[in-house]
A = this chain, B = another copy of it.
Amino acid sequence: MPTRKRNLPCVVVRRGPEVIMLDCGEGTQKQMRYSRIGFNKKMKILISHMHGDHVLGLPGLFQSMSMLGRTKKIDIYGPKGLKDFIESTERTVKYSRRFDLEIYEVNEGRIIEEDEYEISSKWIDHDFPCLAYALEEKEKPGKFKLNKAKELKIPKGPLWKELQKGKSIKIDDITIKPNEVLGPSRPGIKLVYASDTRPCKPVVVLSKKADVLIHDCTFEDSHKDKAQDYGHSTASQAAKIAQEAYAKKLILIHISAMYEESNNLLKQATKIHKSTILAEDLMRIEVRN
């Protein structure tokens, strides 16, 4: 439930010109206005599961995007049931969507493969079929060494670009390999979203050495039984999962409306995993490695 301080789940990853939205609770379109994310960006949406607090913002978002003139396609991924939900709201609540929507009902596995990153999913342990998602950037080529390129007399222009992309080139029958002008390749960023879930092995596996693990933290430690009953995690359980996975940063989300003050949750988690943040509405976190 939303509280006066907290809205329903939605996390947005901005990666270059693209927006990757994780879940879309009621009120998301309003929060997008505050965060100035923009309604016309290249965009993917990943839905964890078909509980209302994770999807009820979709119809209104699509409606407003249409009114704002969006024509760019959106790809949306989620468990079985997503298509039925979107289609029935579009049938019963009248509006004309002006952009294409490609709906993918997915299972666990590698679900998206792009040039620079891939996204995989795993079933996690909620009281309803629920997927966690891992966004993993591919290795990035190393830094281009200007001096080295000049030394080898490679003319500035398309040949530089080829090398930067990791391809070999030829000048006067002499082959120049990318590693002659590039520094060591840099690892990509890995970010995992796991809400809603009990503490479970699949999240540990999926978030192995993740830079960021965004994890369910519905309850304080004293409500461990409730967490078990309703398919959620306590603060310490979330922190233990981050520890086991060697995740660098843990971000706690999906805080129960029971807690007006969330200091205890953060304290309990930080005891186990030092680098922990408790998500607040409209918080922005820059992820670099």
Contacts of A56 in B (CB 8 A): 26, 56, 59-60, 89, 93
Contacts of A93 in B (CB 8 A): 50-52, 55-56, 85
Contacts of A67 in B (CB 8 A): 1
List the number of copies, as a whole number.
2
User: In the complex the two chains form, is B64's CB within 8 Å of A60's CB?
Assistant: no
Interface status of A92 (Cβ within 8 A of chain B): yes
Residue of B nearest to A58 (CB): B56
User: In the complex the two chains form, is A63's CB within 8 Å of B52's CB?
Assistant: yes
One of A28-36, A191-199, A210-218, A263-271 contacting the partner: A28-36
A60 touches which of B26, B29, B34, B91 (Cβ 8 Å): B26
User: In the complex the two chains form, is A81's CB within 8 Å of B88's CB?
Assistant: no
CA distance A255 to B1 in the complex (A): 28
Residue of B nearest to A67 (CB): B1
User: Which of A33, A55, A56: most chain B Cβ within 10 A?
Assistant: A56
CA distance A84 to B88 in the complex (A): 9
In residues 72-127 of chain A, which contact B (Cβ within 8 Å)?
Answer: 81, 84-85, 88-89, 91-95
Interface size on A, residues (CB 8 A): 36
Interface status of A53 (Cβ within 8 A of chain B): yes
Q: List 30 A-B contacts (CB under 8 A).
A: A1-B29, A1-B63, A1-B68, A2-B64, A3-B33, A4-B33, A4-B34, A8-B60, A26-B26, A26-B30, A26-B56, A26-B57, A27-B27, A50-B92, A50-B94, A51-B94, A51-B95, A52-B89, A52-B93, A52-B94, A53-B60, A55-B93, A56-B56, A56-B89, A56-B93, A84-B91, A84-B92, A85-B89, A88-B89, A88-B91
The residues of A with any CB-CB pair to B shorter than 8 Å are 1-4, 7-8, 26-27, 29-30, 33-34, 50-53, 55-57, 59-60, 63-64, 67-68, 81, 84-85, 88-89, 91-95, 128
